[in-house]
Amino acid sequence: MTAAVSIQHLSKQYGAFIALNDFSLQIAAGEFIVLLGPSGCGKTTLLSMLGGFIEPSFGQIVIGGREMTHVPPAKRPTATLFQDYALFPHLRLIDNVAFGLRMRGMGRGERRQKALACLETVGLASEAQKKPHELSGGQRQRVALARALAVTPEVLLLDEPLGALDLKLRRQLQDELKSIQKQLGTTFIHVTHDQEEALAIADRIVLMNSGQIEDLGTPQQVYLNPRSRFSAGFMGEANFLPATVKAIHSDVIGVQTEQMALSLPIAAFKRITPAIGQPLSLCIRPEHFMRAEQRFSLGSALVQSCDFFANHWRCQVLYGGHRLKVYRPLEAPPKVGQMLDLSVPKECLVVLKDE
């Protein structure tokens, strides 16, 4: 089972502090949504309101066409998977997974059969008779996922479930989560502060800031065509060069930076409408300096440091009065003190409001 979720003008206020501010979002049935943002942005508050654990100050929540704003957690078609596995240490895995079904009055034979099927889904059917202390952290999180799925929620809420795991295991479980979600077709709403995790698993990313949506779109849209400097900077490393619009033509926009005059393609102005004299920021990702397509020259910069990052060199360069981050391929390590030519593909330039 799966359900669409409609969030309309949702707000939560604690005294003078506004945790969520007039938040609206439409989530399609079967979609994998990731709520991403820094600590205090409101993402966990939103998830808790969807689960019924926090009462909204204002607004409406509709799940599967049914009004759920003030419905208690036990009566919602949702289940929540927390970072803390919260497994019963004295129960075998199969009984942990079957616990929610037992509370709902399902017969012993039927609930054991369903619990075993859920353990099979997460790859732990052969461990069904073990207890939680006999498992690794990753296996315990799989059991917690199986328990959440056993009650057949229409929407699964995931509150940073991979946050306590090491990097290698976290990436493995990201792949498994995505695969299980596609297999079941259940709507997943997943909270994380990890940008790489969001990019790896989401159908759409909802980037939050100060209780509101800062950016929204597919991982490719949010990363390659950010709406704001906050979005660009939060989603990974980014360079920002201040510039001013000097001329507007049918196919190019002339801008002036501190270093040089540039003729930018119209396609770079997806987020703003240019006007003469308008201040703006040129956003360039460090990895785009490595791309080999038709390139746009930005002049040269002085290499100040160069560090090995496994699959590339990460350089700090001085470009006029600005310090930029530049990635270079492993086969071409720059030397500190040399002048480095900077160029990027035209399609990688993004123009944003100057903030």
Mean pLDDT along residues 51-61: 97
pLDDT digits (tens, 9 = 90+) for 275-316: 999 999 999 999 999 876 667 888 899 999 999 999 999 999
Does this chain's domain 5-232 share its CATH topology with 237-353? no
Question: What pLDDT shows up at residue 259?
Answer: 86
Strands (E), the chain: 5-14, 17-27, 32-36, 58-63, 66-67, 78-82, 155-159, 187-192, 204-209, 212-217, 239-248, 252-257, 261-265, 279-284, 295-308, 313-319, 322-328, 339-345, 350-353
pLDDT tens profile 135-163: 988 889 889 999 998 989 999 999 998 88
Q: Is the domain defined by 237-353 classed in CATH 2.40.50.140?
A: yes
What are the boundaries of each domain within the chain? 5-232, 237-353
- 181-219 pLDDT, tens digit per residue, is 999 999 999 999 999 999 999 999 999 999 999 999 999
CB 281 within 8 A of CB 240: yes
* Pairwise CA distance, residues 214 & 210, whole Å: 9
How would you list the strands of the sheet with 212-217, edge to edge?
A: 78-82, 155-159, 187-192, 32-36, 204-209, 212-217
Q: Which CATH number fits domain 5-232: 3.90.650.10, 1.10.4000.10, 3.40.50.300, 3.40.1410.10?
A: 3.40.50.300
Residue that the structure tokens 């300096």 belong to: 289
pLDDT at position 293, please? 61
> Nearest 5°: CA angle at 11, between 225 and 220?
15
A 10 A CB-CB count for 72 gives 9
Q: Report the candidate in 51, 54, 61, 62 with the shortest Cα–Cα distance to residue 10.
A: 61
**DSSP letters for 125-191:** GGGTTS-GGGS-HHHHHHHHHHHHHHT--SEEEEESTTTTS-HHHHHHHHHHHHHHHHHH--EEEEE
pLDDT in tens, 204-263: 999 999 999 999 999 999 999 999 999 999 999 999 999 999 999 988 999 999 888 888
Q: Are 64 and 234 in contact (CB under 8 A)?
A: no
